[in-house]
Amino acid sequence: MTIDAFGSEPRMLVGGRLTEALGGKSFPVINPATEDVVGSVADATADDMDAAIAAARAAFDDGRWAADRALRKRGLAQLRDAIAGDLDHWRAELVAEAGCPVALTYGVQLDTPVTDNFTWALDMIDSFEWERDAGKALVVKEPLGVVGAIVPWNYPVEVTMTKIVAALAAGNTVVLKPAPDTPLNATRLGRLVAEHTDLPPGVFNVVTSSDHLVGEVLTTDRRVDGISFTGSTATGRRIMAVGAPTLKRLFLELGGKSAHIMLDDAALPDVVRAATTICAHAGQGCAMNSRLLLPRSHYDEGVEMLTYAFGQFPYGDPTDPAVYMGPVISQRQRQRILGYVAKGVSEGARLAFGGGIPEHLGKGYFVEPTLFVDVDNSSTIAQEEIFGPVLCVIPYDTEDHAVRIANDSDYGLSGAVTSGSTERALAVARRIRTGTISVNGGTFFRRDLPFGGYKDSGIGRQTGREGFEGLLETKTIGLPA
């Protein structure tokens, strides 16, 4: 499909206007499946970000958006409807810029976040307790202010919708900084806001740049009250450091090295099916379970079944509806993953399947589904986030041993426990130090549930009532006796 078929938007949205970068520059967007240029967007500098922050600050200080919940409901409903009318173009464009399989866009990559975020946020505007009588005092919830939303490339629409819809519903103004690899969905969103909604100028802004440091302006500027960031732990630490002088409110959703524990009474075929999901979207998900802990009593059989299953996983052209694994986002990312594969082999893990570049795919940044077995949990591939289609299989002896292995990680974002007994699985899940965890296939990823991590996986919560309150300030007003 050509770029004309997408109807992509090259301009940013600043202060209610679709605009080029002040310096007049742009940068290309590359399709990771074909290595072709599929579009270009404005290449902003710090001056462009300064203008966007000024617009967002003025729009918040104006007070109309923060105070008028009916306006917020109307504007968000208009945006929801505008997105629904543009969904087919958005879908094709997202597959092209992110390399995500089109099959996944009918769920977590596009349709689900678009629908669920708006439904949940519009309900929160009506149902949230904005003010309560505390007896001769009022406790009032007010918008935080200007929120900087910094978004990664792996699930760009999902993360963007999760951040900005809740922030706007809470009465904040927003400056969105998309990842340089996947900016087209963000500029499209800016166009829909500008052309189809009653959002006042400056309430929502989009700044695109090939320079990651342009996003850092958000974290240092005193006019910005909060940062909502999803990305690497290293960048999260940097945001904390440079945001400290202005005491930014932070939500940081960072890396993960999540463990799936199979207990000895679980059905092995179910565990194997779940374990292969590390290959979905080429393993580019922070909450994916990249470590599988198998009891020794089922280990050899499990490795045999996993090796076969990895060989059957459908990958290749992301426009093919039968494919669930496309390319990784860039050549740089592919080389990073291959470096981890080499490290795993050198440190003694057994490469049971994959580990290279598929010979039958001549173009694109593809990596084979990769299975490591006999992995020591202290090894590099078991401790560091690879962010690719790589599963590390680790044997364990007892239930306590499995818990120790799962918790022996700097990360604590997610995980899973599978057992023939939900009660037994739940007891183990309670012992795992993670912000989210699945028991026997249960889902924790919903708009009404808080999402975030322990330890190096982040600070704060996104979504749910806890996430919504993180976008608000609390004021206590004493009343006369």
Residues annotated as catalytic are 253, 286
Contact 95, 110 (CB under 8 A): no
What is the sign, positive or negative, of the torsion defined by CA atoms of 179, 185, 191, 195? negative
